Amino acid sequence: MWHKDAFTYESHEMGKWFIAVVGQHVKSSYRCVVVNVYSTCSLREKIDLWGNLSALKMASSDPVWCFCGDFNAIRKRGERKGTSVRDNHTSEMGRFNNFIVTNMLIELPIVGKKYTWFSSNGKAMSRLDRVLVSEEWLQEWPMGKQYVQRIEVSDHCAIMVKSLDKDWGPKPFRTIDAWFMERGFLMMVKDRWTSYPAQGNAFTVLKEKLKRFKEDLKVWNMDVLSIIECTKKKILEELEVLDCQACSGVLEDSENL
């Protein structure tokens, strides 16, 4: 990320136990957020950290995310060896996994060592460091893996994130049934499709049009369907208020009777 020919820095946000860097991956032109985590040992402070990270992601419109670093937490019992897993560790595992699921994060496949932290005598070891990414990150780098390096100056292993640059052919183009139920969707598709330039052979034209339409469709989906979901939520909240008012009216009538 320090190389200007690989990553263009835009902004950053610092919090207790993390630094979030926003920028653009030069080669793909993807705007992404990379969050480096260095967690505390306190469970209470870990819970605060996970809450702050969730709030940070929720408040952002950027879909491409990567959380990496020392989370100081395990996801399952097999990620700790040489020390007992106490009751507070069980609670910690549940809360940590809930943070991952709630934010729809995916842990990259690990290559190399099973553990990333080792005690000085080598008898105790844990998987405390990891890389968690959003689905959109995987769409851009589907072959991404986390490679655990050997221990050098720290008692933690460094982790290298790398995606094999292989062309496995075009990515599948998927649709959502709800799009076709939305008024104006088909007209939008026709207008956008005809607006794209058609240069080259038929296969090249189709590939480029699908690529451009995929990006436009993401914007349309966020602009249109997200508004519908907010409207539905507001209507449901208003209905709940009306139901409560109706129930109060019934109770008042029954008391009068």
The full set of domains in the chain, from first to last, is 7-163 (3.60.10.10), 177-256 (no CATH)
Closest C-alpha to 30, from 64, 1, 5: 64
Whether 70 contacts 156, CB under 8 Å: yes
- Return the pLDDT at 67: 97
User: For residue range 16-46, what is the model confidence (pLDDT) as tens digits?
Assistant: 999 999 999 998 888 999 999 999 999 999 9
The DSSP 8-state label assigned to residue 222 in this structure reads: I
Please name which of 46, 54, 45, 44 lies closest in space to residue 20, comparing C-alpha atoms.
54
What SS3 class is residue 154? coil
Q: In this predicted structure, what is the pLDDT of residue 133?
A: 95
| Phi, psi torsion values for 222, nearest 5 degrees | -70, -40
Alpha helices in 18-168 (DSSP H): 43-59, 87-102, 135-140
C-alpha separations of 57 from 66, 69, 117 in Å = 10, 17, 27
pLDDT in tens, 45-57: 999 999 999 999 9
Please state, rounded to an integer, the average pLDDT across all residues of the chain.
82
Q: Which two tokens stand for residue 149?
A: 């390096």
Residue 137 burial (C-beta neighbours within 10 Å; 0-12, 13-18, 19+): buried
Q: Is the pLDDT of residue 231 over 60?
A: no
Does the pLDDT at position 155 exceed 50?
A: yes
Amino acid present at 255:
E
Q: DSSP state, 123?
A: S
And the tokens for 13? Answer: 């946000």
182-191, 204-213, 220-229, 233-242: lowest mean pLDDT where? 233-242
Helix-, strand-, coil-residue percentages of the chain, each rounded to 5: 45, 25, 35
